[in-house]
Amino acid sequence: MKVAVVTVVAGRHDHLTAQIRGLMSSTVEPCEHVVVAMGDDRIAPMLAEIGSSATCIYIAADGRLPLAQARNLGARRAIESGADLLVFLDVDCIPGRNLIARYAAAAWESDNRDCLLCGPVTYLPENTRVGDSRSLDDLTAPHPARPDPPNGRVEPGADFDLFWSLSFAVEPSTWSAIGGFCEDYRGYGGEDTDFAATARQRGIGLRWIGGAHAYHQHHPVSDPPVEHLDDIIDNARVFFDRWGRWPMTGWLDGFEQQGLLRRDPDGIIARSA
């Protein structure tokens, strides 16, 4: 099985370097690593400097990052290159040694065809030093909000709102059936919840893949992420118009409690004065 990894990036060069090192020490190396640089023309020289063979594609980013469009572009390149399986990894994520192997093994099983394959994600503490991928094994502590099956086990999922785009795999035929990420979303938030909702609507399954561990590198965040307030408000409107319900409810509730926005049941959401 030819497995391609797709990563979208703007900045976060150190994180990307750590991800590439993780891929190099994987028990199964990808046939291609497609890196989509969003408005960052330093990515290609950086890849050359560290000796990476990754394919770099540039996409303009005027203001809000075109995350959905960039993922779609990366997937198109991987499929055109003959990939049998697409693995999406956020630039912050270092793959565990067996991540690709576990995704590939799960994709071979007939019960998992036409499914989104999702692995556990560990959030690494601040100032964590990763010597090599083997040192990550001792740091494994998957996020408790998502399933974490034992290594080698695949568990069906029913709650598609638990899907996140940090780490997942999908076959090209399934990707085509979903139609990729909706490009109405711009900037941060909502596009992955929409992707999963579309998958469910179109009869695509959800599977949680034990042992397909990814490790999210630390970076400063706020809760709720007020630095992404405008993106989240606009994308929440897009989602409500498409699905008739609010996404990212925890963040929206937090913004509302802080007096940063107001909303009503009819789908009207506005920034507070």
Tens place of pLDDT per residue across the chain (273 aa) = 999 999 999 999 999 999 999 999 999 999 999 999 999 999 999 999 999 999 999 999 988 999 999 999 999 999 999 999 999 999 999 999 999 999 999 999 999 999 999 999 999 988 777 755 567 888 999 999 999 999 999 999 999 999 999 999 999 999 999 999 999 999 999 999 999 999 999 999 999 999 999 999 988 878 889 999 999 999 999 999 999 999 999 999 999 999 898 877 776 677 776
Query: How many C-beta neighbours within 10 Å does residue 53 have?
Result: 10
Which residues does 261 contact at the CB level (< 8 Å), separation at least 6?
A: 229, 233, 252, 255, 269, 270, 271, 272
Last residue of a domain, one of 198, 216, 234: 216
Q: Is residue 51 part of a domain?
A: yes
103 and 184 housed in the same domain: yes
CB 46 within 8 A of CB 26: no
Q: Which residue, among 96, 90, 91, 85, has the nearest Cα to 30 in the 3D structure?
A: 85
94 and 154 housed in the same domain: yes
260 and 180 housed in the same domain: no
Spell out the SS3 assignment of 234-272: HHHHHHHHHHCCCCCHHHHHHHHHCCCEEECCCCCEEEC
193 and 259 housed in the same domain: no
Q: What is the DSSP string of 9-27?
A: ESS-HHHHHHHHHHHHT-S
Cross-sheet strand order for the sheet of 93-95: 93-95, 214-216, 121-123
CB 35 within 8 A of CB 149: no
30 and 153 housed in the same domain: yes
Q: Is residue 221 part of a domain?
A: no
Q: Taking the model in full, what pTM does it have? A: 0.95
Which residues does 16 contact at the CB level (< 8 Å), separation at least 6?
A: 7, 9, 35, 43, 46, 91
140 and 105 housed in the same domain: yes
Q: Which residue, among 108, 152, 124, has the nearest Cα to 216 in the 3D structure?
A: 124
Last residue of a domain, one of 216, 240, 259: 216
Domain count, the chain: 2
Domain that residue 232 falls in: 226-271
93 and 211 housed in the same domain: yes
Separation CA 99–CA 120 (nearest Å) = 10
Last residue of a domain, one of 194, 216, 238: 216
Cis peptide bond prior to 224, omega within 30° of 0 = yes
pLDDT attached to residue 273: 60
120 and 247 housed in the same domain: no
Helix axes of 249-257 and 229-243: crossing angle, nearest 10 degrees: 130
161 and 243 housed in the same domain: no
Tokens of 120: 């556990």
Q: Name the 3-class secondary structure at 158.
A: coil
Q: Is residue 209 part of a domain?
A: yes
142 and 234 housed in the same domain: no
Q: Is residue 238 part of a domain?
A: yes
160 and 190 housed in the same domain: yes
Helix axes of 191-201 and 229-243: crossing angle, nearest 10 degrees: 20
